């Protein structure tokens, strides 16, 4: 978040302003929970039917969740939410046969000092493959295009660095499973780990510099449209307004052309 926009990071982590999860994030959390419980079962029990049964058991917890209730869904909205979550859950079978996965751990809470930076991450799954340990993280959002794939892998590479530091065992592979779409993975090497830890150190140093000077620049862009603090941010507000004006002008030009 700091790299995307230092001001947003300040509002979230210094001012601690609320950032309630939207429906996509909540549906993703529900899917994660179901897959976590599924993968804790013995391999032969990891079936679509078992996933359905787990989803039914877990659903009342979602319904009782304050953030979910705040979304204020009507019956059709709730149905759509459950469908979205189920598509993500079922999407695991598009990528792998869960019965064939040797799971070493799920939801593994890993803490380590990486290049002097305190790091904590919760790894969705640690799998044992024939050539070694694999870090696996589920994603329920849209898979990135080729241009953005490498950047998305920093998260799992940091998990791999933390696992190495905490256990002494270096994973051989790290991957993101974009449920229902595709896996995006990378071979773990010492060079990759050094690179990502160096990047983390740079961000950490930038955060400390920004905190010491209390200067957090706004970094405007398309993400301002999804920023929960846009109303408190003049630069972000004008970015959103000018993007909207551009879209309106394009639509008007297209309508003229149609006529």
Binding site for ligand SF4 (CB under 6 A): 5, 7-8, 218-220, 223-224, 227, 229-230, 233, 235-236
Q: Is 227 in contact with 7 (CB distance < 8 Å)?
A: no
What is the nearest approach in angstroms of ligand SF4 to the Cβ of residue 5? 3
Q: For residues 123 and 224, which CB has a smaller minimum distance to ligand SF4 in the complex? A: 224
Measured between alpha carbons, how far is 11 from 22 in angstroms, rounded to an integer? 18
DSSP string, 177-233: EETTTEEEEEE--HHHHHHHHHHHHHHHHHHHHHHHHT------SGGGGG-TTGGG-
**Helix or strand or coil: residue 55?**
helix
Q: For residues 25 and 103, which CB has a smaller minimum distance to ligand SF4 in the complex? A: 25
Q: For residues 133 and 230, which CB has a smaller minimum distance to ligand SF4 in the complex? A: 230
**Helix or strand or coil: residue 143?**
coil
Measured between alpha carbons, how far is 97 from 180 in angstroms, rounded to an integer? 13
Q: For residues 28 and 236, which CB has a smaller minimum distance to ligand SF4 in the complex? A: 236
Among 136, 123, 152, 60, residue whose Cα is nearest residue 96:
136
What is the nearest approach in angstroms of ligand SF4 to the Cβ of residue 202? 20
**Helix or strand or coil: residue 259?**
coil
Q: For residues 164 and 220, which CB has a smaller minimum distance to ligand SF4 in the complex? A: 220
**Residue closest to ligand SF4 (Cβ):** 236
What is the nearest approach in angstroms of ligand SF4 to the Cβ of residue 85? 27
């Amino acid at each position: 978040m700091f790299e995307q926009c230092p001001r947003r990071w300040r509002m979230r982590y210094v001012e601690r302003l609320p950032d309630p999860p939207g429906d996509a994030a909540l549906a993703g959390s529900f899917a994660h929970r179901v897959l976590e419980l599924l993968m804790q079962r013995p391999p032969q029990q990891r079936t679509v039917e078992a996933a359905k049964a787990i989803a039914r058991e877990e659903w009342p917890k979602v319904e009782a969740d304050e953030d979910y209730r705040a979304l204020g869904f009507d019956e059709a909205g709730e149905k759509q939410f459950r469908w979205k979550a189920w598509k993500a859950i079922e999407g695991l079978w598009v990528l792998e046969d869960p019965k064939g996965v040797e799971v070493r751990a799920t939801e593994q809470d890993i803490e380590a000092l990486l290049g002097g930076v305190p790091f904590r991450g919760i790894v969705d799954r640690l799998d044992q493959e024939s050539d070694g340990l694999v870090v696996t993280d589920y994603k329920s959002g849209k898979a990135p295009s080729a241009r953005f794939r490498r950047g998305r892998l920093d998260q799992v590479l940091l998990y791999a660095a933390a696992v190495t530091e905490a256990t002494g065992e270096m994973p051989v592979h790290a991957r993101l499973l974009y449920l229902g779409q595709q896996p995006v993975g990378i071979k773990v090497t010492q060079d990759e780990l050094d690179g990502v830890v160096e990047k983390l150190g740079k961000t950490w140093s930038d955060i400390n510099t920004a905190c010491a000077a209390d200067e957090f620049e706004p970094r405007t862009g398309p993400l301002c449209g999804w920023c929960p603090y846009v109303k408190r941010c003049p630069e972000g507000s004008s970015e959103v307004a000018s993007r909207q004006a551009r879209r309106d002008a394009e639509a008007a030009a297209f309508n003229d052309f149609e006529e």
